[in-house]
Amino acid sequence: MKKLQVNELTWGDRFRAYGSLWTVTDLSPEWIVARKHGKESTALGPKGYGYYGDAICSFKPTEKVVFVPPS
């Protein structure tokens, strides 16, 4: 898997950081916002698009993450 800065991602891209899977939901020059894939949403698999309890977090644009290509 490729390591890059979070500002190199685009809306909908997935990445790994802090031991979790995340999806980019918003882009701005100051912050990149992403939704964490919690246990409940991961358990939904292809049947779901997230879970209302999933955490939302802002990342600094220069933060290093691991890109997860679409499967």
Please report, for the chain, the start and end positions of each structural domain, with discontinuous segments joined by +: 3-68
- Class assignment of domain 3-68? mainly beta
pTM of the model: 0.81
Angle 30-16-49 from CA coordinates, rounded to 5° = 90
Q: What is the pLDDT along the chain (71 residues), one digit of tens a residue?
A: 679 999 999 999 999 999 999 999 999 889 999 999 877 666 666 665 666 678 889 999 999 999 999 87
Between CA 57 and CA 17 the distance in angstroms is 11
